[in-house]
Structure 1
Amino acid sequence: MSDLWMPGAEVLDIGDHAPTDGGTAKAIAHITWDRNATKAKPLDLVPFATLRSYFSGNGKGSAPHILWDPFTGRIAQFVPANSRSKSLVDTPGGTRTNRAGSVVLQVEALFFPWARVNGTAYETLRDTPCKGWEELHAWVASHGVASSWPMGKPDGFVSRRDERIWRIRSGWFGHAQVPENDHTDPGSWPDFPGTQPKPSLAPFPGAAWFVTGRQSPLVAAMHDRLVAEGCDRYQSSRDKDVIGSGDVASYEAWQAKYSKDNGKGWSGPALQWPPGPESWNALRVPTS
């Protein structure tokens, strides 16, 4: 028998349990979206403890099953798997939402677009470390939830709602895909374990990697991102996969722009070549 309380989760049982309707097992992907940030003005992530206290206190009327911090892997659970939770709008007489399955597991990821953690801003949930996802997915799957997205995997803050698919299919649904609901989250979600493609963004290779004359597809990718960010100080695009003076000037322009846009107040050596991990991660250089 599957565990009603996820192993390793902090249990804060808020009571008010009620059965689900039976049928296809479902999981619903949400983000907390508790702050409105932008690329130009990222904001610090709300502490896990704040949301934990909210859902177990004044916000228990809209509490999910699970609150998940993708940066630390911490998880809090507020109701058992065999109970409905109340994270979805469920209008009287309409399509059942919170109860529409053998389980309807509501997962709230602690995230909003352009959340800032330890100086780095993250545009999408997929860009975060996604710590704890493998364990969370395994627990959800143990309750019969298919590792699939019947209405398509979330890719951007757009809605697609199909009441027939909702009623008959098992799997993961974005909040934006649930009938009667008008939210557009989660925007993105991590891949199911075992299906992850090559990481889309290149990790920081270390300051010592950035030596004049180094040739690599990663240098060309950096070149393109610097141009896209309006920091083009190149004389030409010839040999753009080789580190040269244009890369130095363009990257220093990027560090100055990043510092200004994010209120860093960097000066002197902090603005100079070679790149540092914070500005590199913010540049979002794709893997070659």
Structure 2
Amino acid sequence: MDTPGNPPRMTWHTTESPAGKSYFYSVAAYLIRVGAEPQVIYDPVSDLLGQFGPLTQSGRALRNDGSRRTNREGKVNIQVEVLGKAASPWTKGFDPAKKPNYRKLIAAGRAHNIPDDWPAGKPTASPSVSKKRDRNVWQTKGGHYGHCDVPGNDHWDPGAIDITIVPGKPPTGGSTPPASGGGTTAPSTTTTYTVRSGDTLSGIATRYSTTVAKLIALNALKDPNALAVGQKLKVPGKTTTPAAPKYEPFPGAAFFSPGRRSPIITAMGRRLVAVGCSAYSQGPGEHFTNADKASYAKWQRKLGYTGKAADGIPGKKSWDALKVPKQL
């Protein structure tokens, strides 16, 4: 991101296509083909949810505002392409209680500390409605935006969606971060969580129905990305046994072909760096490269593999030992 010191946001689009499972994969393939991927695609009919890349990295669904790269605005800019048309708001008749993947998507935004606000107001109901694309608001306020709010762009999607549904109310016992900074209040009760291999702060926050900001404040963390296995963290709530972390299942050796693009590749690379097996000069990224292969070969040798067995291509046993976090 170009401006990681600016507030986090989530930007909503519509694909201007019909919705439904039969369109989901073809629209996703089209976005890849034309190089206009967001981070996430969602179908409100089938509740299918797809992810093109890491939520913390730039999408490609917005035009630049002059020299300002709007895709890279803020700490995160999680862009969501929703199957549907702006002229027929997809939230009409939509029940979040029946859509578990939609709730996971909103939870992911909250885990990245995105406020439950619409700083630029409700999205427009018609392309004929004039709406100021305020650069100051866009660059300085965290929260939810429509494509219609982004400077340098001329689309009016996602249409007049119901902002009581998007993002909706936070879950009971959780909270939404403040829209414009300010302090955080420590929960009345806390317990201790021991960091496990593969844990991320956002994953721990989601597990305890809290926010990353509260965990940072509660533990006075200087670098929230530098968690250490065995580290003790204060977390809100009574003592519970947290759910076991979820790891990516082995996708098969054929998955790791040259040029393969997937957020799983990025997650694997980050784990290789974390376990001291990096051969990266930059990245890791979402394409499977020779640097990934060299890094994985280091991991195999660390596990005791020798000779041709340390070929840099993941196998199930070494993959399971690496514990790559499950991607949204």
Q: Aligned partners of 2:48, 2:21: CA distance in 1, in Å?
A: 14
Q: Which runs of 5+ in 2 are unaligned?
A: 171-328
Q: Deviation per CA, 1:50-78: give whole Å up to 9, x if none.
A: 1122223x12x111000000111111110
Quick one: structure 1 residues 113 and 24, their matched pair in 2 at CA, closer, same or farther if it must change by over 3 Å? closer
Once the 2 structures are TM-superposed, how far is the Cα of residue 21 of structure 1 from its aligned partner? 2.2
TM-score relative to the length of structure 1 = 0.51
The residue number in structure 1 matching 2:75 is 102
Once the 2 structures are TM-superposed, how far is the Cα of residue 112 of structure 1 from its aligned partner? 1.3
The residue number in structure 2 matching 1:124 is 89
Quick one: structure 1 residues 177 and 25, their matched pair in 2 at CA, closer, same or farther if it must change by over 3 Å? same
Q: Deviation per CA, 1:102-127: give whole Å up to 9, x if none.
A: 0011001000157xxxxxxxx32111
- Letter aligned with residue 122 of structure 2: K
The residue number in structure 1 matching 2:274 is none
Q: Aligned partners of 1:164, 1:188: CA distance in 2, in Å?
A: 23
Checking the alignment, whether the CA contact within 8 Å between 1:20 and 1:83 is kept in structure 2 is no
Quick one: structure 1 residues 153 and 92, their matched pair in 2 at CA, closer, same or farther if it must change by over 3 Å? closer
Secondary structure (helix, strand or coil) at the match of 1:62 reads coil
Identity %: 29
- 1:141 and 2:123 are equivalent in the alignment: no
- 1:163 and 2:132 are equivalent in the alignment: no
Aligned length: 160
Secondary structure (helix, strand or coil) at the match of 1:67 reads strand
The residue number in structure 2 matching 1:82 is 56
Secondary structure (helix, strand or coil) at the match of 2:70 reads coil
Quick one: structure 1 residues 81 and 113, their matched pair in 2 at CA, closer, same or farther if it must change by over 3 Å? closer
Secondary structure (helix, strand or coil) at the match of 1:166 reads helix
Secondary structure (helix, strand or coil) at the match of 2:133 reads coil
Checking the alignment, whether the CA contact within 8 Å between 2:37 and 2:60 is kept in structure 1 is yes
Checking the alignment, whether the CA contact within 8 Å between 2:11 and 2:79 is kept in structure 1 is yes
Q: Deviation per CA, 1:128-154: give whole Å up to 9, x if none.
A: 435333221111111111110001022
Checking the alignment, whether the CA contact within 8 Å between 2:38 and 2:80 is kept in structure 1 is yes
The residue number in structure 1 matching 2:158 is 186
Q: Aligned partners of 1:154, 1:26: CA distance in 2, in Å?
A: 15
The residue number in structure 1 matching 2:177 is none
The residue number in structure 2 matching 1:26 is 9
- What CA RMSD, in Å, does the superposition of the two structures yield over aligned residues? 2.5
- Letter aligned with residue 85 of structure 1: G
- Letter aligned with residue 74 of structure 2: G
Aligned to 1:71, which of 36, 42, 45? 45
The residue number in structure 2 matching 1:254 is none
Checking the alignment, whether the CA contact within 8 Å between 2:12 and 2:81 is kept in structure 1 is yes
Checking the alignment, whether the CA contact within 8 Å between 2:86 and 2:160 is kept in structure 1 is no
Q: Aligned partners of 1:112, 1:45: CA distance in 2, in Å?
A: 15
- Letter aligned with residue 11 of structure 2: I
Checking the alignment, whether the CA contact within 8 Å between 2:2 and 2:69 is kept in structure 1 is no
Q: Aligned partners of 2:82, 2:120: CA distance in 1, in Å?
A: 20
- 1:52 and 2:28 are equivalent in the alignment: yes
Secondary structure (helix, strand or coil) at the match of 1:98 reads helix
Q: Which runs of 4+ in 1 moved over 4 A?
A: 43-46
Matches within 5 A, 1:193-208: 193-194=168-169
Aligned to 1:111, which of 71, 81, 84? 84
TM-score relative to the length of structure 2 = 0.45
Aligned to 2:121, which of 129, 152, 161? 152
Q: Which runs of 5+ in 1 are unaligned?
A: 1-18, 36-42, 115-122, 196-288
Q: Deviation per CA, 1:25-50: give whole Å up to 9, x if none.
A: 01101101137xxxxxxx98971121
Secondary structure (helix, strand or coil) at the match of 1:173 reads strand
- Letter aligned with residue 152 of structure 2: E
Q: Deviation per CA, 1:226-251: give whole Å up to 9, x if none.
A: xxxxxxxxxxxxxxxxxxxxxxxxxx
Q: Aligned partners of 1:34, 1:46: CA distance in 2, in Å?
A: 11
- Letter aligned with residue 98 of structure 1: N
Once the 2 structures are TM-superposed, how far is the Cα of residue 178 of structure 1 from its aligned partner? 0.3
Q: Which has the higher contact order (CA 8 A, sep 6+)?
A: 1
